[in-house]
Amino acid sequence: MTTPRNALVPGGAADQGPASTTPSGDSRRLIYGHPSLLAERPTHYCPGCGHGIIHRLIAELLDELHLGPTTIGVASVGCSVFAYDYLGIDFVESPHGRAPAVATGVRRTRPDAFVFTYQGDGDLAAIGTAEIIHAAARGERISVVFVNNGIYGMTGGQMAPTTLLGQHTTSSPEGRDSSLAGYPIPITEMLALLPGVSYAARGSIADPSQIGKTKVMLRRAFEDQLGGGRTSIVEILSTCPVGWGMTPQESMDHVANEVVGVYPLGVLVDRRAAAAKGA
């Protein structure tokens, strides 16, 4: 990967904002910069895809929590398998759907590492259902970043278990019909029932305010692991403009107006916060 640029260096992104109050720069306050762990190169993701935003959130949080040197990420199969090309941390690549099992092996043999998986909805909610359910049932001390765009993007836009009813995909050309293909699976709600899941939440990247809220959820999930919590999961409603046949703006609007009606946003369970409150 390319050498990360220090955002505090003059001429970096931080210099371009209005935060500078004196010409000397001594009292400037950094409010925005390039995360040191995020590679400075264009991603291969399509215009309007959410992965770039979510990669950035993870890079920011790993920087802010000083986790870069101790993190081992587990990449899964799908467009985001290349997360390791953009995040400057150790990574192991998992077979399709098996990331929570792979993360279990990493976690058990590296008890001091920060361990997270990055999985799409085909990966986590279809082929990898057994692995995520049982990692959560065991309460593996891992964080799961679950990016749900309701479609198989990498293979050309086929129906996923998360696809909305009526949604047209290349394998549901007349729209998803519940009599043939069942119903969208609310897997994060299912996981939130398990006592091994200490934090579960659903955010989106549909607009800057939602992105900010999603970052808070991810931070809470990561801190949960660092604080001795068990499994933490943040589902992030994301986009696939190419697979959906929409422009980037239309796809963001679709998340905000349609998808959140099926997959409501919010914190589903936060057992450590609940325990602290009860104490």
Partner 1 sequence: MTAVAERPRLMKGNEAMADAAIEAGCDAYFGYPITPQAELLERMARRMPELGRVFVQAESEVGAINMALGAAATGAKVLVSTSSPGMSLMAEAMSYMAGSELPIVLINVMRGGPGLGSIGPSQSDYFQATKGHGHGDYRVPVLAPSSISEAVALVADSFELAARYRTPVILLADGIQGQAMEPVMPTFRMPDWDTASWELTGADGREPRVVKSLHLRPEDLEVHNAHLQAKFATITEREVRWAGEQLEDAEVVVVAYGTAARVARTAIERARADGLHVGLFRPITLWPFPSKALAELAPRLRAIVVVELSAGQMVEDVRLAVERVPVFFHGRTGGMVPTPSEVVDRLRVAWALTAPTP
Question: Which residues lie near partner 1 (CB under 8 A)?
Answer: 1, 68-72, 74-75, 81, 84, 88-95, 98, 101-110, 113-114, 130-131, 133-134, 137-138
Asked if 73 and 91 count as a contact pair (C-beta separation under 8 A), the reply is: yes
* Closer residue to partner 1 in complex, CB, 28/134: 134
Least gap, CB of 68 to partner 1 (angstroms): 7
* Closer residue to partner 1 in complex, CB, 79/234: 79
* Closer residue to partner 1 in complex, CB, 143/169: 143
Return the closest-CA partner of residue 148 out of 90, 202, 87. 202
Least gap, CB of 133 to partner 1 (angstroms): 8
* 86 burial level (CB within 10 Å; 0-12, 13-18, 19+): buried
Asked if 142 and 231 count as a contact pair (C-beta separation under 8 A), the reply is: yes
* 225 burial level (CB within 10 Å; 0-12, 13-18, 19+): buried
Least gap, CB of 52 to partner 1 (angstroms): 19
Element (H, E) at 35: none
Least gap, CB of 89 to partner 1 (angstroms): 5
Task: Kindly provide the residue ranges of all beta strands, DSSP E only, lying in the chain, ordered along the sequence.
Answer: 71-75, 90-93, 114-120, 143-148, 151-152, 158-159, 197-204, 231-237, 266-270
Give the total residue count for the chain.
279
* Closer residue to partner 1 in complex, CB, 77/151: 77
Least gap, CB of 66 to partner 1 (angstroms): 11
* Closer residue to partner 1 in complex, CB, 13/113: 113
